[in-house]
Structure 1
Amino acid sequence: MKKNIFNLLLLLIFPVTLISQVEEVYPPNFIKTITFKSNTTQGQLPVLKLGEPLFLEFDALNANEEDFYYVIEHFNFDWTPSVLAKAEYLRGLDNQRILTYENSFNTYQVYSHYTLQIPNIQTRAILKSGNYMISIYDDYDELMFSRKFMVYEDLVNVGVRVKRSRDVKVIAEKQSVDLVVATNSINFNNPLETIKTLIVQNNNLNTSISDLKPQYTLGNKLIYRYDTESAFWGGNEYFWFENKDVRTSNVGVQFIDLKDIYQSYLFTNVSRAGNPYTYNPDLNGNFQVTAADRLSTDVEADYTMVHFSLLQEELKDKDIHVYGNFNAFAIEPLTKMTFDPESGRYKASFRLKQGFYNYKYVAVDQETGELDEGAVSGDYWQTENNYKVLVYYRDLGARFDRLIGYGEATSVDISN
């Protein structure tokens, strides 16, 4: 294919530039509701056990019934390309067309719903554990979007405990994660160099903490009890709304209107930074597509224009964005809010498929691009957060990083 020839030319001319960390490519506006699933984990960050199936679904809103192709690549712990050949980590072929799709039925917004399952007839198995990227191309070899996923082997036990920060300066705002990695099946050689860890808060890779070293060894256990290095900002519970019935207002929706498609106007939210913490159950930023009186939400759930509103003084040096896993926590022009001086509110609107959605508002520095999740919502040690821990291992002389363990915990039972 043309992109393969282009990549080869780049390798010959600029061999160094290709050895860099890969980043996810976010989709164009006509591709929505990218849902990445596995049988063992909840949320939009798939962590598969080796041998388990993977499901990727998305909608194309251009009504062209386009052909899309998928490519799967293996990466090292630090998301640099691994040296493994395709045949070493895949049984079968990739760069194949996604065969399963359906057109929407009885909706104002016309779309096609695509479903990819791995393994399938062309791609029969993923053979190695580690980090992966799946990239979706159109019929013209243009990259539409890419998503990261992980495949692990269950070789070590990963104990995870969430505690309040040990730093008294931020004890009311941060949560710290302690780890214990234990195994009887692997003899760790030089664990300070061969073992690497990744801690992910609420399925958000953008704020993850990576490559912490074990502080000490106790028998067959590796112990991680850091004061500050494993601490996350606590954040706050997410706002949420549900518009499973587009003909009437629902939880979080103030009123609806019908133009070319349904319009869902949410209640105006207010800044919570500096206010006392209030418990509010949420999905930790995730979403769930659902629609009332529909047999198949894949093709019968409609799209609505969702209007967000935030009562907040204008921030001169920062932009405000709507933030959540509905777009993999991406900071993009679509989610940027504009300030309305007349009403004193930030406003934004974009299309979302019917369902239950978590969201919050974050500030982004206009010069540095630095993200501040607590500027509007605040940071609280009591906040219920989910933490996933991935353990990687590259033995002496090995050619790639194996993902040998996975653990998970929430801060519901947080302790001092």
Structure 2
Amino acid sequence: MRFFLFLLLSGIITGGFAQPDYIRTVQCYPEGKPFAEPVIELGGATPLLFSFDDLSPDINSYTYKIQHCDPDWNSSNLSPFTYLNGFFSNPLEDYNSSFNTVVAYTHFTLTLPNENVSMKLSGNYLLQVFNDAQSDTPVISQRFSVVEPKATIQANLTTATIPQYLQTSQQLNFTVNYDNLPVYNPIRDLKVYVTQNQDPHSRRAFTPTFVRDGQLVYGNGQNNIFNGLAPFRNFQCSSLVYYTQYVKDVIRGPQGVYNFILQPASVYTNYVPLPTLHGNYRIEAENTNDPELEADYVTVHFAIYYPEQIPQADVYVYGKFSDWQLLPSQKLQYDFKNKAYVGEAEVKQGNYDYMFAVVPYGTGQPDLITLQGNFYQTQNNYYIRCYLYNFNQNYYELVAYSPVFYNGIGF
């Protein structure tokens, strides 16, 4: 099997911004819940933890800003004084250099809220990080949400009730209870969205099937049916010595960087229950005290057998470690000799879930079935958000948030 090495492109697109390739391993989650969505409660005791690595040889300083957004992540056009306590712009002051790694980096961390800034309103937010040397354009644009529970959600996940989807799909029925809210026109004033496995490409807006007194009922429609998909694939590169499952070989390159050659994959033809991180990843490094500073960056080589090149489409390695983006650096090429898609990605040592995504030209929408499979048994997580428009202050509140786990397993 031949593995091709591809150069990283100069920038990647994240949330509409060009993220330079020296910014890596951006993480954002509630404290103590590294696999959870970046959602915290307004005034709650659990803060949000945000971090990233700077692989630049230069010493960079950064400033962060926080912007309130509507349900579609557009600016709410509110004054920062309306939604923030403290300062709108703050320096990132918590950072440390990597220790005993081949690839040197600086690790930056931030906790929200903190003594300099806190959020006053619920809703969607954008955390933007700016390199002080190039302060016009953010280098990171991280989404997060703040919920103020004022409504409740009751949800039920089953196999699909429409016969043609019975073997491949899952059905999410749910009810939003808003008894104590000032809702005059529920279809106009309330917006509800569902995301599967934290993947923003799966985000779906819902219209209620029934409107009752103090309730919106969403159920038994085709919009409630989601592809079951296949279990996420996984690799571990926490050890530089021992081969873990799915690793075929580990080779140290001429500059000391380790290359992990994965076992070539195939399309799943049957459902196989596998341990899953639901597309997430965790930084781990064997024989270290602080993996965030001591884990090295390695190059992982991927391959998946497929009998022919898929016409009019690109193929990517895809998951949370790519921020659910279709990154040029993780695009695969078709190897006609070995009849396989092959490529590579540079990642920090750890435990990673991923999928192979097929993207038809011009769509920007990943197809996670062609190279994966589609099974109703797959363990998937679903995340329901309910927003209420506040007419007095002209913004959308996040009044209910509910994770739902198929087969009862999730984060």
**Partner Cα separation in structure 2 for residue 233 and residue 77 of structure 1:** 24
Structure-2 change in CA distance of 1:119 and 1:413 (3 Å): closer
Counterpart mapping for 1:106-185 below 5 A? 106-123=100-117, 125-139=118-132, 140-141=134-135, 142-185=137-180
Q: What are the superposed Cα offsets for residues 267-312 of structure 1, whole Å, 9 maximum, x if unpaired?
A: 111122xx12111121111001111111101100111111111111
Q: Which residue of 2 aligns with 1:258?
A: 252
User: Structure 2: where are the runs of 5+ without partners?
Assistant: 1-13
For 1:71 and 1:409, locate their aligned partners in 2 and report how far apart those are by CA, in whole Å. 31
Counterpart among 348, 354, 359 of residue 353 in structure 1: 348
User: Which residue of 271, 283, 286 corresponds with 2:267?
Assistant: 271
Q: Please give the alpha-carbon distance, in whole angstroms, between the structure 1 residues aligned to 2:87 and 2:17.
A: 22
Say whether the 8 Å CA contact 1:35–1:44 is kept in structure 2. no
What displacement does 1:187 show?
4.3
Q: For 1:370 and 1:403, how far apart are their aligned partners in 2? A: 27
Match of 2:23 among 31, 36, 53: 31
Q: Is the 8 A contact 2:201 2:366 kept in 1?
A: no
Query: 2:224 is matched with which residue?
Result: 230
Change (3 A) 1:166 1:357: same
Partner of 1:8: none
AA at the equivalent of 1:304:
V
How does 1:200-215 map onto structure 2 within 5 Å? 200-210=195-205, 212-215=206-209
Is this contact kept in 1: 2:80–2:88, CA < 8 A?
Answer: no
Match of 1:189 in 2: 184
Assess, with a 3 A threshold, how the Cα gap between structure 1 residues 153 and 40 changes in structure 2: closer, same or farther. Answer: farther
Alpha-carbon distance in structure 1 between the residues aligned to 2:362 and 2:187: 37
CA change 1:298–1:41 in 2 (3 A) is closer
1:334 match: 329
TM-score by length of 1: 0.89
Cα distance, 1:318 vs structure 2: 1.5
Which deviates more from structure 2 when the two are superposed, residues 126-135 or residues 247-256? 247-256
Secondary structure of 1:163's counterpart equals strand
TM-fit CA distance, 1:334: 0.8
Give the drift of 1:26.
5.3
What displacement does 1:184 show? 4.5
Taking structure 2 as the reference length, the TM-score comes to: 0.90
Distance in 2, matches of 1:75 and 1:413, equals 32
| DSSP-derived class of the 2:276 partner | coil
- The number of equivalent residue pairs is 389
State the 1:65 CA deviation: 2.6
Counterpart CA distance in 2 for 1:220 and 1:44 is 29
Say which SS state the counterpart of residue 363 (structure 2) adopts: coil
> Using the alignment, how far apart are the partners of 2:32 and 2:102 within structure 1?
34
Counterpart Cα distance in 1 of 2:402 and 2:270: 31
What runs of 5+ residues in structure 1 fail to find an aligned partner? Answer: 1-21
* 1-structure distance, mates of 2:247, 2:158: 35
Q: Percent identity?
A: 25
**For each residue in 1:338-357, what CA deviation from the matched residue of structure 2 results, as whole angstroms up to 9, or x when unmatched?**
11122222111121111100
Q: Is the 8 A contact 1:215 1:225 kept in 2?
A: yes
CA RMSD of the aligned region, Å? 1.9
8 Å CA contact 1:41, 1:47 repeated in 2 = no
1:246-276 per-residue CA deviation (whole Å, 9 max, x = no partner) reads: 123222211111112111111111122xx12
Cα pair 2:150 2:399 within 8 Å, conserved? yes
